[in-house]
Amino acid sequence: MQPFDFTTLTAVCAELRADWLPARLEQVYQRDRFTLSLALRTLQQRAWLTLSWHPQAARICLDSPPPRTPDTFTFSQQLLHQLNGLALVAIAPIASWERVMDLQFARRPGDPVLWHLYVEIMGKYSNVILANAENLIVTAAHQVSAQQSSVRPIQTGQLYEKPPGLTDPAPNLEESQARWQERVCLIPGALRRNLLKNYRGLSSALVLSMLQAAELNPEQSTEELSDADWHRLFEHWQEWLKNLVEEKFYPGWMQQGYTVMGWGIMTPAENVQELVRRYYGEHNDRQEFDQLRQQLQQKLKTLIERLRTKAQVFQARLQQSDQAETYRQQADLLMAYLQDWQPGMQAIVLCDFETGHPITIPLNPEKNAVQNAQSLYKLNQKLKRARNAIDPLLAEVQTELGYLEQVEAVLLQLTEYQHPADLQALTEIRDELVQQNYLEASRYRNSSNVTNQDIGSQPYRYRTPNGFELLVGRNNRQNDQLTFRLAGDYDLWFHTQEIPGSHVLLRLAPGSVAEDADLAFAADIAAYYSRARHSEQVPVVYTQPKYVFKPKGVKPGMVVYKQERILWGQPQQGSRWVTQISQVN
C-alpha cells in the first residue's frame, strides 16, 4: 500500500483549509478502533472528515458518512463532549516537514483556541491526541506508557510533546543544483536510495514517480548519471518544492498507485480528497474482505465438520436400530424352541420360520432360554425407541447442514475483492450468521466500514443471448429477495438440483418467450454459481416463481419447489460467459 506521505498530507490539508475553514463540528463517530469521523458544516456544505491512525493506512481526508450503527467507543464520546458545537478554525502543521497536523477549535472564528486535536501520520506510530489550551493531553486514541516508550510517553494529564525531530536535512527551494547534487551523490549508490537517505519529507512512491517523470532508472548508480540527467532530475525536484510552497497539486491515478504531483497520471482525479478516499478506502475494504472471508470460511468449515460428524453418529445408530426386527425374530425362535436349549449354551442354531434356513443366536450362558429371549425383546424395544428419537434429530441435523452448505457455497463465489458491493455482500453473510446465532454479535460490532448497509448489496446482473436480464443472488438475503419479492409472474426461477447454490432469476416481460439459448445460458450461470462449479455437467431445475415456496420457520435461502423441469448446466461454459461479460463491462 502506498504510504500517506508528507506531500499527500500537505495537498489534503491545503484543500481543507481552502474549502472548510471555518467549519462547525456537529458530530463525532468512531467507525472502528483506528478510524474517526468528524461531521463538519460550513455555510455552504456539510461533510465527514476522516481521521485514521491505522498502522498501514493512517490518513486525513473527507470521506463518506459513517454507518448508522451505534458508536460504542469511549474515545469518540470524549471528543464529542469537549468539541461538540465548536468551530474548526485552523489546520496547521506543528513544524516544517512534520506529518503532524494541529486541528484547532475555538468557540467562533477569531476567539482564542480552546482545543488542539493533533493528527499524527507516522506509520505504525500514528495517533490522534486531544490537548487543551495549555497543551495538556486530555485523551488519546492510543496511550503510550513510560514502560512502552521512554522517549515519548503519551498519557492523559501530561504536556503534549512533539515527536522526536528528524535528523535528515530538509529540502530547500533555495538550494543550488550543485549543492543538492553533491549531497545526493556524496556516497555513490542507487539513485532512489540516496534521495531517500539524504532528505526528509520524501517517500518511496514520490521518489519513484519523480524518477519516472525524469526518465531515470531508480536503481541506477549516481556515478552513471550524465549532466543532462542531473539537470532534468533537479528540475522535477524544484517543481515538487514549488508546488508544496504554492499549494498547487494535480491529483490522479498512475499505473500503480496515485500521485498529487501530476507525474505519470493515467486518469486524473476530481480532487485530492476523492483520490485519497478511494485509494485507502478500497485498500481497507480489500483487507477487511480478506480477513472476514477467512474468518467466515473457517467458522463454516468447523460447523459443517461438526454437523457431519453428528450426522454420521446418528446414521450409525440408525443402522444399529435396523437390527431391531432381527432381535425380535431371534427372540420368537428362541421361545418357540425352548426344548432345544441346554444349560451353559453360548449359542443355539435354529431354523427360520419362513425360509427354513439355520440361524445362529448368541446366548448368555448364565441365563436360561426365557431370560435370553426377554433380553432380545428388550433390545428390540430399545432400538425401536432409539429410531423414533434419532429420526427427528437426524432430520434436524441434515436441515442445518444443508443450510450451512448453502451459505458456504455462496461464500465460495466471493473469491476476491473487486468492488465495494463484494464487501457488502460478505457483510450481509456475516450478519445472517449472527442472526442465526452461529456467530457472536459482540465480536463483530463496529467491525465493518461499509457505509451503505441500509441500502443492501445488489445481485449479479447478466444478459442472455436474446437480451433478457438474468439476476444471480450473492447471498441468502439476495436469494430470498429475488425469489419472493422481485420475481414476477412471467419470470423463470433456476437452481441447481439438490446442490447448494445461488438463486437465479430470468426476467421476462409479458408475452416474451425464452428460447433454448436463453434457458441454456441461465442453466450454465446457475451451475457456475453453485457448489458444483468444478463439475462437467450439473442438473439445474427451473420453474415459475409461483411454484417456489418457503416453509414456515426455515432458514434464509432455503426453499422447496414443484412443477420443475430439468436442464443440464455446464459450469465451465458459465465461467466463460461470466469472464466475457466482465471484460465487456
The one-digit pLDDT tens for each residue of the chain (585 residues) are 898 999 999 999 999 999 999 999 999 999 989 999 999 999 999 999 999 999 989 999 999 999 888 898 999 999 999 999 999 999 999 999 999 999 999 999 999 999 999 999 999 999 999 999 999 999 999 999 888 887 889 999 999 999 988 788 999 999 999 999 999 998 999 999 999 999 999 999 999 999 999 999 999 999 999 999 999 999 999 999 999 999 999 999 998 899 999 999 999 999 999 999 999 989 888 988 999 999 999 999 999 999 999 999 988 888 777 777 788 888 988 899 888 888 989 999 988 888 888 989 999 999 999 999 999 889 888 888 888 888 889 889 999 999 999 999 989 888 888 888 889 999 999 999 999 999 987 666 545 444 444 456 789 999 999 999 999 999 999 999 999 999 999 999 999 999 999 999 999 999 899 999 999 999 999 999 999 999 999 999 999 999 999 998 889 999 999 999 999 999 999 998 888 765 444
pLDDT, tens digit, for every residue of 452-505?
A: 444 567 899 999 999 999 999 999 999 999 999 999 999 999 999 999 999 999
The pLDDT of residue 416: 87
Nearest to 45 by CA among 32, 26, 66: 26
**How many C-alpha atoms does 487 have within 13 Å on its Cβ side?**
25
pLDDT, tens digit, for every residue of 518-546?
A: 999 999 999 999 999 999 999 999 999 99
Q: State pTM to two decimals.
A: 0.74
CA distance 409 to 499: 9
What is the b/e burial string over 40-62, where b = at least 16 CB atoms within 10 angstroms of the residue's CB? beeeeeebbbbbbbbebbbbbbb
C-alpha cell at 9: 498530507
**Locus of grid cell 491505522:** 54
The pLDDT of residue 452: 43
Partners of 387 in the β-ladder:
none
Which residues are CB-neighbours of 214 under 8 A, at least 6 positions away?
229, 232, 233, 235, 236
Partners of 314 in the β-ladder:
none
Q: Which contacts qualify for 369-374: CB closer than 8 Å, 24 or more apart?
A: 369/334, 369/335, 369/338, 369/341, 370/335, 370/338, 372/334, 373/331, 373/334, 373/335, 374/331
Nearest to 383 by CA among 335, 326, 330: 326
Cβ–Cβ < 8 Å for 94, 9: no
